[in-house]
Amino acid sequence: MTIEQQILLTEEFVKQNLKGYDSGHDWWHIVRVRKLALFINEMELLADPFTVEITALLHDTADSKFAGRDNEQSYLLIKDFLDSNGMSDIKDQVMNVIKNVSFSSKHKKENPDDPLLWVIQDADRLDAIGAIGIARAFNYGGFRNNPICIPGEESENTGRSTIGHFYDKLLKLKEMMNTTTGHKIAEERHKILEKFLEQFYSEWYFGN
Ligand code: ADP
Ligand code: NI
């Protein structure tokens, strides 16, 4: 099987497995993360580009929030897919990233010092900030029917509203970047979050 065929088959597998996810985790999130990951890797030369591409494609296929099965079942499915399509040689690397990539990962970090993980994690985190990050946060909040903002919550860090989520997670991501390239892009996107919050509060507290 050629590399091109393996990529196509992985795309199809991912599309099948993302059904039922919220639209912030849809195929277009995967497309954006793939581009960011390949770009970061091109700049930093940290991992094999084919492995980066396959891992970026697969990185969200085991999210128990959406997948409708537990993580272990998803891991088996993904391993099976890699074995059946001539990708056994990259299986361990891919699985390590899938298990560790999530911000909210409850799993013990098996191998957090993996350059492939740095690349994919940075790409995934970049898609959670900037204009796209804001769109995804409000989309997720709507999906959960969370309030947009709970006045006073910002300082308490309770994170029940989408604005609260900015303080719980989004504003922290810039300093959590693994790579120099990721950090550079994050700085730009972080500024967008700050600008947005400033304007948001000026409108929320209009007339006060
Ligand atoms: P990860 O993929 O790192 O596990 P999540 O699945 O928690 O991250 O988040 C994916 C997307 O959903 C991100 O854009 C994130 O900001 C958004 N999101 C997650 N939790 C919330 C929340 N409580 N309110 C608003 N957006 C959220
Ligand atoms: Ni993701």
Please write the tens of the pLDDT for every residue from 132-158.
Answer: 999 999 999 998 999 999 988 766 656
118 CB near ligand 1 (under 6 Å): no
Other CB atoms within 10 Å distance of the CB of residue 92: 12
pTM: 0.92
State in Å: Cα 166 to ligand 1 middle: 10
Please write the tens of the pLDDT for every residue from 148-184.
Answer: 999 887 666 566 899 999 999 999 999 999 999 999 9
Protein residue with its CA nearest to atom 13 in ligand 1: 128
> What percent of the chain is modeled with pLDDT above 70?
87
State in Å: Cα 140 to ligand 1 middle: 7
Please write the tens of the pLDDT for every residue from 98-127.
Answer: 999 875 555 555 567 899 999 999 999 999
Res. 94: pLDDT tops 70: yes
CA distances from 202 to 160, 164, 198, 207 (A): 21, 16, 6, 9
55 CB near ligand 1 (under 6 Å): no
Residues in Cβ contact with 166 at an 8 Å cutoff, skipping those fewer than 6 apart: 137, 193, 197
State in Å: Cα 124 to ligand 2 middle: 5
**Ligand 1: nearest atom to the Cα of 159:** 23
Query: Rounded distance, CA 179 to CA 41, Å?
Result: 9
